[in-house]
Structure 1
């Protein structure tokens, strides 16, 4: 076979392999959203990005942070199952804003009000939640911004707990995905955002039926389990969606989309198709008999620290022992010298002339 023919066959083989590789590589979807960000919620890996750091009005996806703080502060203060603090401030919102429909005097626990708020996107409930866990809305908003900064969301600033337009209220697709991923690690929050239908009970009897605004939950997408919609004239239709398949969670944040639920399905499908396998690691397993939240890596680190301390103590002990032996040897030598001196005849001291 000629060298030229061999070269041609090799080139053809390479092209065939390359074509097969490209054919197996998922292609990023075409979406209508101005901005989107898809992440592996378990590892934090970026799976898809489009204008992910462009600032935009997040609308009611703001309530993701409101829900997170409602749970964290509510639990810390022992208020999750205590009555919501509903004041006349719940009426101080735009007439066309989405509401849960609560009034001063209604008896609803913080836990149930949070779930109702996240289901129907109740702006009135967001105000009541803020005033239940902090003295004022201003205090609550300050904590929202503190939390965003702590999560590394440097392109986010909140001006209110509900997301109605404000020139100083903005976020990005990336930041909203990060905030949502944090929330989905909290069992209470994860439950609150998972309801397509919810009958919110009143403490003194009766309930209010709530239907979700998040149609991704009822889209039939496998594993769909949250999170929140948002729509304003300034920011357009937004959505932060979550799904879990085979123990892996993917989150997609979508900003200003003409087809947010369709975009969500495309992005989620793509996200799951490009997930990297996660190698078993010690720090993903929680010990049954260990203190809450402690991992094998924690134990290993503490064991290493204990071993190092023990080694230092052993070295110190050895040094001390060596010093003791040396001291004893010196004493013994001195004793021998004294004995030798004692065996010599006594010579009186005579000062020099």
Structure 2
């Protein structure tokens, strides 16, 4: 009888410890973003998801794909260090769009122009990049969509290289994170997005000073090294961030957030915490939202700002509670109370991690 009681108490002790470990696992943060996705860029593993597959306007985060395609075609054609082709098409963009400020006749290499494009979010540079590596913008956009499909981005469709308003131009938090993670594996891409300031040189002398629109790079977050901002009125402020710590890279994609840099700090901190915690489970707050009628409108904005598993935790909590109940025939009342309290604490932690954002949002819908 003594040994039976000791075995029960030992089991309860292990149960309590297990519940404490689960409760101490990193808790998914509350964010204002309508949708977000955090991933391990090295393995592709999901670390956090909130409405990750909900269609959204990516705005100027589109230029992440523009740079990826521009680099791959530019290298294949031996044009990275050749002059950028600049036509009058660079003037055919929205008047309030962010621009690099290039003109026909300017002598800039393709590589340096793309770096300037990613720094200040230059829509004019995106047009020139497209026309340098393909016969037309339409041909370049086709390459963008081919690349998205090749990367498994099934909820993405591009209609232009810069992200300015179009009802058929859309993506998701998950897809944009996937594209950014692919880009961050390219040395040329990393060099283009890993700086707060950049002096873009002209081939015939002189330079243009560029300041990054991505404030995350200068936020002090450890290992911050990319990648891109984007803002539209309908799509809201968007941001894709990257950081590398101890050889591990985390990517966070944020759509429609009133506090995108605050959300970035929370999500990136959480992402690295999950990587460093063997007992943590990825959070998945994905839900489906029916679209409403709305029109995609470019917002007047500073340069560059143009256009999981909670069920498993619940299951574990339920199992802990069941084991505590089953053990009530042998242990002391105090031990039983401790086990039940631990299970309740775990359930409360799960409830907290599933809290939904109350951020007002106008869902994606094609323009009327």
Q: Which runs of 4+ in 1 moved over 3 A?
A: 1-12
| 1:233-312 correspondence to structure 2 within 5 Å | 233-275=233-275
Residues 123-157 of structure 1, C-alpha deviations (whole Å, 9 max, x = no match): 00000000000010000000000000011100000
The residue matched to 1:94 in structure 2 has which SS?
Answer: coil
Tell me which residue corresponds to 1:142.
Answer: 142
Q: Is the CA contact 2:35–2:54 (under 8 Å) kept in the aligned structure 1?
A: yes
Q: Tell me which residue corresponds to 1:77.
A: 77
3-state secondary structure, aligned to 1:61: helix
- Cα distance in 2, alignment partners of residues 166 and 29 from structure 1: 32
8 Å CA contact 2:26, 2:277 repeated in 1: no
Range with bigger deviation, 6-15 or 213-222 = 6-15
Matched with 2:56 is: 56
Aligned position for 1:200 = 200
Contact 2:25 2:277 in 1 (8 A): no
- Determine helix, strand or coil for the equivalent of 1:216: helix
Q: Distance in 1 between matches of 2:14 and 2:171?
A: 46
Aligned residue number for residue 109 of structure 1 = 109
- 1:146-161 maps to which residues of 2 (within 5 A)? 146-161=146-161
What CA distance in whole angstroms lies between the structure 2 residues aligned with 1:50 and 1:109?
40
Q: TM-score, normalised by structure 2?
A: 0.72
- Does residue 175 in structure 1 map to residue 175 in structure 2? yes
Aligned-pair distance for 1:222? 0.4
How far off is 1:86 after superposition? 0.6
Answer yes or no: is the 8 Å Cα contact 2:34–2:50 preserved in 1: yes
Displacement of 1:165 in angstroms is 1.5
1:274 Cα deviation (Å)?
Answer: 1.1
Once residues 64 and 259 of structure 1 are traced to their aligned partners in structure 2, the CA distance between those partners, rounded to angstroms, is: 21
Structure 2 runs not aligned, ≥5 long? 279-368
In the alignment, is the contact (CA less than 8 A) between 1:99 and 1:124 conserved in 2?
yes
Cα shift at 1:23: 3.8
Deviation for aligned residue 1:275: 1.4
Cα distance in 1 for residues equivalent to 2:194 and 2:262 = 19
Give me the whole-angstrom Cα distance separating, in 1, the residues matched to 2:131 and 2:104: 12
CA distance in 2, matches of 1:140, 1:231: 23
Structure 2 Cα separation of the partners of residues 244 and 18 of structure 1: 31
In structure 2, the CA distance between the partners of 1:182 and 1:277, relative to structure 1 (3 Å rule), is farther
Task: Give the Cα separation in 1 of the matches to 2:103 and 2:3.
Answer: 87
Equivalent residue of 2:243, what SS? strand
- How far apart are 1:2 and its partner, in Å? 7.2
C-alpha distance in structure 2 between counterparts of 1:268 and 1:146, whole Å:
30
* Alpha-carbon shift at residue 195 of structure 1 (Å): 1.3
Structure 1 match to 2:356: none
* Residues 165 and 234, structure 1, Cα contact 8 Å, conserved in 2: no
TM-superposed deviation, 1:19: 4.0
| Counterpart in the other structure of 1:67 | 67
Q: Which has the higher contact order (CA 8 A, sep 6+)?
A: 2
Aligned-pair CA distance for 1:12:
5.4
Classify the secondary structure of the residue corresponding to 2:67: helix
Q: Describe the SS at the equivalent of 1:71.
A: helix
Structure 1, unaligned runs of 5 or more:
279-353
CA contact (8 A) 1:62 1:162 kept: yes
Aligned counterpart, 1:337: none
Tell me the distance in 1 between the aligned counterparts of 2:115 and 2:134: 19
Per the TM alignment, residue 39 of structure 1 is displaced from its structure 2 partner at its CA by 0.5
- Aligned residues: CA RMSD: 1.9
SS of the residue aligned with 1:165? coil
Confirm or deny that 1:40 pairs with 2:47: no
1:224 Cα deviation from its structure 2 partner: 0.3
